[in-house]
């Protein structure tokens, strides 16, 4: 009975959220938060309809599901980014993708090591999985009619570009402590080959080749009258899955490959459907990402959170307050040419955790066997989904009023 119940619950959630999507944007009840709440409600800690542990290894299930969901989400984000966005926002985004990510990694690691009394390698690993800004949760903040009415393009495009790019780059931070914990002979050499060369360079080249080739194929299909316009959604979704599979076979960082493929495809095509990317993102969010948040709620280890108690709550608060906002603030001199102080405050707060952190934390658990990592990471992820979901609408309105005044 688990499968019929799961299908019913997920489908009902997607339908209800879809029917009230515009209204929800104006309330504290954002889509990821609702998905997690539904998962907890129907799971072992709620009415007990579903139990993810009965479906196999929960960590493997979460890792693979999050990987596919991220691929689809990253493709949708990449399709929203135009060549003009890249020209305008690549320079400020580069600061957050380099010094910003390094600062967020070290800050989260220090907090984890201090509050949970972790060894250095364990603290660095937990800090790494909490580094990337989630493109799926960020998309719920910067897409839709409400966001267009209250947020300028410079905020919406920047958060899309940064959150899309840093998901794949987080692999660089995650792999190094995994190698240290694994006791390999030469962690720096293995990290250089596996993470930097194969993970980033090969992944980017593969993604660029797939995206460019797909763009040319689509152009010829349109020119020859071989493709119907409504097939665009199917084409881009399949492209994300194809890139994900090809990169995984080559053991490259599939998230980088998918994002680069989406960017290259978007920049190498000139079809009318390209201007429907935000609608596509909304469809993908409802159809693919909401079930992932329901699954996260089902797998949330509430009993383990309670056992860790105050130190875990303190870590969640420290990560929310110190992981990103102070780091972005320190980068203000480099960003002030493009962004005002209110922009920096908004960007600094809205760097939510979500599916990317779910993927990296479960990947790390499956690689190291340290299940306590999932306990700590999942609690911080849940806190971020709650805090950023509740504050999204009011802080967006506040930002809009302050910048109109």
Mean local confidence (pLDDT), 297-305: 94
Which domain CATH number covers 73? 1.20.1530
Give the pair of three-digit tokens for residue 5.
């119940």
318 vs 96: CA distance, rounded Å: 20
Averaged confidence pLDDT in the chain: 87
pLDDT confidence tier of residue 227, bands split at 50, 70 and 90: low
Most confident range (mean pLDDT) of 142-151, 277-286, 311-320 is: 311-320
Domain residues for the domain of 235 are 2-404
Answer positive or negative: Cα dihedral of 286, 289, 292, 294.
negative
Give the pair of three-digit tokens for residue 385.
């989904």
215 vs 270: CA distance, rounded Å: 9
Q: Residue 225 has what DSSP assignment?
A: T
Give the residue with greater pLDDT, 16 vs 299. Answer: 299
Distances (CA, A) of 309 to 119, 323, 331: 19, 21, 34
Residue 274 has pLDDT above 70, yes or no: no
Which pLDDT score is estimated for 232?
67
Q: Which residues contact 153 (CB under 8 A, 6 or more apart)?
A: none
- Total domains present in the chain: 1
**pLDDT-wise least confident of 83-87, 156-160, 225-229, 388-392:** 225-229
Q: Which residues contact 185 (CB under 8 A, 6 or more apart)?
A: none
**In this prediction, what percent of the chain has a pLDDT beyond 70?**
92
Distances (CA, A) of 224 to 212, 220, 221, 228, 269: 18, 6, 5, 11, 15
Which pLDDT score is estimated for 63?
94
Residue 92 has pLDDT above 70, yes or no: yes
Residue 405 has pLDDT above 60, yes or no: no
Give the residue with greater pLDDT, 7 vs 27. Answer: 7
Residue 124 has pLDDT above 90, yes or no: yes
Residue 9 has pLDDT above 90, yes or no: no
The H or E element that residue 221 is part of is helix 203-223
Give the residue with greater pLDDT, 43 vs 129. Answer: 129
Which pLDDT score is estimated for 43?
87
Residue 228 has pLDDT above 80, yes or no: no
167 vs 155: CA distance, rounded Å: 18
**In this prediction, what percent of the chain has a pLDDT beyond 90?**
50
pLDDT confidence tier of residue 286, bands split at 50, 70 and 90: low
Give the pair of three-digit tokens for residue 7.
């299908």
Residue 60 has pLDDT above 80, yes or no: yes
Burial degree of 4 (CB within 10 A; 0-12, 13-18, 19+): exposed
Q: Residue 247: which of 395, 364, 239 has the closest Cα?
A: 239
Residue 190 has pLDDT above 80, yes or no: no
pLDDT one-digit tens code per residue, 105-121: 999 999 999 999 999 99
Distances (CA, A) of 243 to 3, 162, 195, 266: 29, 20, 18, 15
Which pLDDT score is estimated for 184?
62
Which pLDDT score is estimated for 283?
66
Mean local confidence (pLDDT), 323-337: 93
């Amino acid at each position: 009975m688990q499968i019929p119940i799961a299908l019913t619950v997920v489908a009902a959630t997607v339908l209800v959220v879809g029917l009230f999507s515009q209204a929800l944007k104006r309330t504290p009840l954002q889509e990821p938060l609702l998905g997690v709440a539904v998962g907890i409600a129907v799971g072992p800690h709620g009415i007990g309809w579903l139990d993810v542990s009965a479906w196999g290894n929960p960590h493997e299930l979460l890792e693979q599901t999050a990987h596919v969901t991220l691929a689809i989400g990253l493709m949708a984000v990449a399709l929203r980014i135009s060549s003009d966005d890249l020209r305008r926002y690549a320079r400020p985004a580069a600061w957050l993708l380099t010094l910003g990510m390094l600062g967020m990694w070290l800050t989260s690691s220090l907090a984890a090591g201090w509050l949970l009394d972790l060894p250095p390698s364990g603290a660095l690993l937990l800090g790494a999985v909490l580094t990337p800004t989630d493109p799926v949760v960020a998309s719920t903040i910067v897409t839709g009619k409400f966001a267009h009415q209250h947020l300028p393009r410079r905020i919406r495009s920047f958060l899309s570009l940064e959150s899309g790019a840093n998901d794949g780059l987080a692999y660089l931070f995650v792999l190094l402590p995994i190698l240290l914990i694994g006791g390999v002979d030469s962690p720096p050499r293995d990290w250089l080959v596996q993470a930097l060369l194969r993970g980033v360079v090969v992944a980017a080249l593969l993604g660029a080749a797939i995206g460019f080739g797909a763009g040319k194929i689509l152009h010829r299909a349109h020119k020859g009258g071989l493709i119907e316009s409504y097939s665009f959604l199917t084409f881009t979704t399949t492209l994300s899955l194809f890139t994900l599979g090809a990169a995984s076979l080559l053991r490259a960082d599939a998230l980088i490959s998918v994002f680069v493929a989406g960017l290259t495809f978007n920049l190498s095509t000139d079809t009318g459907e390209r201007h429907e990317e935000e609608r596509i993102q909304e469809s993908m969010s409802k159809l693919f990402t909401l079930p992932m948040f329901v699954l996260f709620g089902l797998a949330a280890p509430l009993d383990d959170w309670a056992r860790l108690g105050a130190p875990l709550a303190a870590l969640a608060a420290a990560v929310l307050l110190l992981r990103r906002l102070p780091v972005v603030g320190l980068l203000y001199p480099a960003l002030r040419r493009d962004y005002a102080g209110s922009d920096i405050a908004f960007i600094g707060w809205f760097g939510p955790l979500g599916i990317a952190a779910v993927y990296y934390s479960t990947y790390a658990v499956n690689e190291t066997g340290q299940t306590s990592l999932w306990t700590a990471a999942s609690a911080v992820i849940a806190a971020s989904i709650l805090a950023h979901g509740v504050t999204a609408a009011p802080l967006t309105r506040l930002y809009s009023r302050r910048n109109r005044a």
